[in-house]
Structure 1
């Protein structure tokens, strides 16, 4: 891996490019998020959406507020962040080659040692070309940087890949209880609001019963998400929905909406 710094690709597009404005937006979303549930066990993974923060941020904040209550920086030593590629084609799983990722808020270090360890055990290509323009992982950073400054990241983009292979990677990460897994995925895309409600309700039920057979029409991050659901099934973990809305509920019209869900796996 190189020592390069990955600049923010979508600052000013998916979230404010101004540090103060971005900080204010994230803090306000966390304050407005619903009171997190008390879980019988610590979270092992979260599912969070990845659109522009004005659209999906209120839903993502429900998951991050759960972490806020659990002292994220003290309980975990890394976040393994898996999500889909939107810009550059990818088959399988890929890591970047930079040492650090930047947003207007801060610089986040990558856990290069753990990434190298994963590459010894799993088929992870090094694809900076796929990572550099991608937003699905980057939009999680403002929340992570605000809640746990200094917590290192293991960013993995997941294209078409079997649920079994993704689950094996997640379960390997779970061998260290200090590794938190985040799955970045939106739900349905560009349906009228009423149709999206019906479709996302079905998808949400599949997620909560750990059914690893989601299709890309249900969730754009289905390959990573199916891996998590299979891993949760292997470990007999529970999954709860923390929040579910559409862009028509947050900042958009209701003619064609995108669905967002936040879930905790424990």
Structure 2
């Protein structure tokens, strides 16, 4: 379901410019209070192997804020893996000229999101770096234990759309505190809330930097749902593709 939606973001990439790709994905299988780095040196895709940037890994490890995930955890986690074929395809003509930086993101407090945002800010500022943030949007239905429904917004699927659009509008403001407040109010089941929070904190850090003058714009280009929920027994997962650009 998510591939057609993701394509709207991936088609914005200029592969000739990209030398390093950070992939921030939420942890689905292990409890993490922080972020973790892979022990792998390469990731295999159907097209070719993607090389892990060991130099950047060493820099991140030196910050003292990152755990290590073993290969079992890495192989079980889909949030990073599912982006690898897209990355391999979009970068195919430059496959020997870029590296990846996979980062597994745990259940972070707002303070830890800010701390990681400060760490990643300098990398976000470099034009040769690309950040891929892995996330679904609303997981709605009894099987997800989330059935928020405001009848004033129409049918269930329309209520879900409104709920997700609120999140997207807030994310586009690049205001991490507003996004945290939204999640506290609605508890929307956005699985990549913490990777998104880290990105917003990194962008906020750059906006506050006196020596950084580039303008940042975040825009959502596509939104989709796996199905349209019409009764309380239905379920769906929402997807959104957004792009952060620098001018």
- TM-score, normalised by the number of residues in structure 2: 0.77
RMSD across aligned C-alpha pairs, in angstroms?
1.8
Pairing 1:1-266 to 2, within 5 Å after superposition: 55-67=1-13, 70=14, 72=15, 74-128=16-70, 129-149=72-92, 150=95, 151-161=98-108, 162-191=112-141, 192-212=156-176, 213-214=179-180, 215=183, 217-236=188-207, 237-248=216-227, 255-266=234-245
Counterpart contact for 1:211–1:226, Cα < 8 Å: no
Give the C-alpha shift of residue 62 in structure 1: 0.3
State the 1:230 CA deviation: 2.3
Could you give the per-residue CA deviations for residues 202-255 of structure 1, whole angstroms, max 9, x where no partner exists? 111111111313436342111110111122233342111111111127xxxx93
Deviations 1:159-215 (A, max 9, x none): 022220221122031253311111111111024422311210111111111131343
Alpha-carbon distance between aligned partners in 2 of 1:233 and 1:239, rounded to the nearest angstrom: 12
The SS at the match of 2:102 is strand
Q: Which has the greater radius of gyration?
A: 2
Match of residue 211 from structure 2: none
Aligned mates of 1:121, 1:175 — CA distance in 2? 18
CA contact under 8 A between 1:170 and 1:181: conserved in structure 2?
A: no
Q: What is the TM-score when the length of structure 1 is the normalising length?
A: 0.72
- In 2: Cα distance, 1:122 partner to 1:207 partner: 28
Moved over 3 A (4+): none
What is the SS of the residue equivalent to 1:219?
coil
Q: Which runs of 5+ in 1 are unaligned?
A: 1-54
1:85–1:130 Cα contact (<8 Å) kept: no
Conserved 8 A contact 1:203-1:218: no
Q: Which residues of structure 2 form unaligned runs of 5+? A: 142-155, 208-215
Aligned residues: 204
